[in-house]
Amino acid sequence: MGETAKHILVLGGARSGKSRYAEALGETVTGNRIYIATAQARDTEMTQRIAAHRKRRENRWTTLEEPLNLAGALANAGEQHGFILIDCLTLWLSNLLLAEQDCERAVGSLIETLDACAGTVVIVSNEVGGGIVPDNELARRFRDVAGTANQRLAQACDEVVLVTAGLPQILKPAR
């Protein structure tokens, strides 16, 4: 984490090590840390993933589960925590799409809240544009929404990191 970086976007593919990287950033700070989790346990496999993430963090983090109102959760967490990790943006976008909410407006609200947040905020998101074109409308819409959201957040954040095979690559260094 750069010395002046307050808002960091961590991108990567599935199982790239992006969450571990983001958590490691949080482990280096003293004080209160909050983990805003956006995943919903809709099936057994996701329930197991959520449990593995919780176990890895143990009791070193305060966890807040918020599948839809991410801007509200960030605003509340920002008042009392110096380090906030949001994991993950793309699961949140999936939740919004399935709830038929306006993703563009929600991302705008998140960015406004991020701009007002004084603490360090790390946002984990999947880079979804490197694969094949999805074969159905919902999947294509998700890819487009996620790609646009990642671009908007990359502009709003002080630092952007791409994690591939567990190796961080600084795309936008903190100034």
Q: What is the average pLDDT score of the chain? A: 91
Buried b (16+ CB within 10 A) or exposed e, 55-88: eebeeebeebebbbebbebbbbbbeebebbbbbb
- One-letter amino acid identity for 137? E
Q: Long-range contacts of range 134-140, CB-CB < 8 Å, 24 or more positions apart? A: 138/97
Q: What percent of the chain shows pLDDT beyond 70?
A: 97
pLDDT over threshold 60, residue 10? yes
- What sign for the dihedral angle of Cα 105, 65, 114, 167? negative
Alpha-carbon distance of 70 to 63, in angstroms, equals 13
Domain 7-125+138-172 has CATH 3.40.50.300: yes
Q: What percent of the chain shows pLDDT beyond 90?
A: 69
Looking at the DSSP assignment, which residues form a beta bridge with residue 160? 9, 172
pLDDT tens-place string over residues 107-161: 999 999 999 998 899 999 999 988 888 899 999 999 999 999 999 999 999 999 9
Determine which of 6-20, 41-55, 121-135 has the lowest per-residue pLDDT on average. 41-55
How many other C-beta atoms can be found within 10 angstroms of the C-beta atom of residue 17?
Answer: 17
What integer pLDDT is reported at residue 115 of this predicted model? 93
As a whole number, mean pLDDT of residues 25-38 equals: 90
Which is catalytic among the residues 7, 18, 33, 53? Answer: 53
What integer pLDDT is reported at residue 2 of this predicted model? 45
Band of residue 165 on the pLDDT scale cut at 50, 70, 90: very high
What integer pLDDT is reported at residue 21 of this predicted model? 97
How many other C-beta atoms can be found within 10 angstroms of the C-beta atom of residue 147?
Answer: 13
- Coil, strand or helix at 94: helix
As a whole number, mean pLDDT of residues 159-166 equals: 97
pLDDT over threshold 80, residue 81? no
pLDDT over threshold 50, residue 46? yes
33, 61 Cβ separation under 8 angstroms: yes
What integer pLDDT is reported at residue 25 of this predicted model? 95
> How would you class 96 by CB atoms within 10 Å of its CB: exposed for 0-12, middle for 13-18, buried for 19 or more?
buried
Band of residue 43 on the pLDDT scale cut at 50, 70, 90: confident
What integer pLDDT is reported at residue 5 of this predicted model? 57
Q: What is the dihedral of CA 146, 151, 155, 160, to 10 degrees?
A: 80
53 is catalytic: yes
